[in-house]
Structure 1
Amino acid sequence: MTELKNVDLSQDANAQRVVKDETVGVEFAIAAGELMSLEGPNRYMRGDALITGSTGDRWVVSRERFDAKYVPDAALAHGEPGAYRNRPAVVLAKQMHEAFSLARSAHGGDVLRGAAGDWIMQYAPGDYGVVQAARFAKVYRLAD
């Protein structure tokens, strides 16, 4: 397995600009804990968003990032559990052709793992994710 460090997809000719389009189910953590995603452990703090995607995958988004990136269904007030849609935002993505691992943050933290065919996501400098190939095909599209 290849261990990736200091990834910068903005400098990678094989990276693509993509946009996610998905409605997700959200609960808010009542205490700190850990959720095991398909790619590895996601530790969270009280108030963070515990998300279930349209493909059944689960992951964590810090409350600060969640508030900036998601909007509630019309029937909800922001901060209530329920359906939320991501705000369209262009991110960088690269499909990997071998198994790999990388930390969720340039500052360390949870280590995520991907299989051959999965995608590295770079949301911002030093801010990463891993998306399985089948999920990527369902919820991401090339940016204009």
Structure 2
Amino acid sequence: MSSQERSQFEHGQAKSEENINTKDFLIGALIGGMVGAAAALFLAPKSGKELRNNINEQAVVLKERTGQLRESAMSKGTQLAGTAKEKSNVLAQSVSRQSIELVNKVKSIKPIESLTGGAEENKTAVSNKQGANNDEIQKKLEETKKAFDETEYKYNH
């Protein structure tokens, strides 16, 4: 991972932590507001009918607010999942491109004939080594894709 990609990743992590802290604050403020409103309603000197009406009105307001917060959280979650998916696709393409370049570089290296063996033995050895490298690269790409898929699943759920 290049230093620029690492910097972007760390910046994204910092923003994610900041969003989580903001979310925690909003949830705490909402709960504190509900507790405060309930305490004010119960401690206010009103008749039973007025108190029930006020509780019903506050319940409707609270339901509307929670609906708005839920929709906001869902849209932000979808947006974060989309961003994570986009960045993971860019990273996967970059890894794939770099691995292809590496494979091409390895293929372009010409074997040197050994003193004891012929050119055929060297070609076979290089071919076997390239096949092993290709398998290893494919395995690493599959592991990376699996990690990205798991991350995407976590963001979506």
Shorter chain as denominator, the TM-score bin is under 0.3
Q: Determine which structure has greater relative contact order: mean sequence separation of CA pairs < 8 Å that are 6+ residues apart, divided by chain length.
A: 1
Q: Which has the higher strand share?
A: 1
**Structure index of larger Rg:** 2
Scaled by the length of structure 1, the TM-score of the pair is 0.20
Scaled by the length of structure 2, the TM-score of the pair is 0.19
